[in-house]
Amino acid sequence: MKRTVIERETERGSAGVKLMIVLTIIILAAHAGYNYVPVAYNAASLKSDIDAAILQGMALPGRVSPVDNVRERIQKALIVNQIPTGAMLDVKQAGSAGAVTAHVSYMQPVNLLPFGMYKYNYAFDYTATPTGFLLKQ
């Protein structure tokens, strides 16, 4: 039996176009991840550093002011984690137990699309309060 081949001109060449569309989407996703991941990583590292500063500041013996000590540690963490200079830092002593709380917030623009076509404002807002054995009387 002989099969006849019907040539369909409109069905030719679509694989190349689909490949270019998929590659473009992959490249855009990689670009967004390349710009977003370091910002999110620095924010997560800052959260960890703030919690450590609160814990270490409350555990210091002697006449050192825990508020000033925590503020200094967090300011160092802001520099190390490449946080924008306009970050708001509020450290205060609250409660009758003498607990120190720290609040840090900032906005950082992230270029998700190339050439600045879309900028995402990464908002960081974190309040750290001590927990555990340091508050027990």
57 or 45: which leads in pLDDT = 45
Per-residue model confidence (pLDDT) at position 105: 97
Which pLDDT score is estimated for 90?
96
* Tokens, residue 115: 């050439």
Specify the pTM. 0.82
Q: Give 33 or 66, the one with higher predicted confidence.
A: 33
Q: What value does the mean pLDDT of the chain take?
A: 88
Model pLDDT for residues 86-122, shown as the tens digit of each residue: 999 999 987 766 788 999 999 999 999 999 899 999 9
Please write the tens of the pLDDT for every residue from 7-26: 777 766 678 889 999 999 99
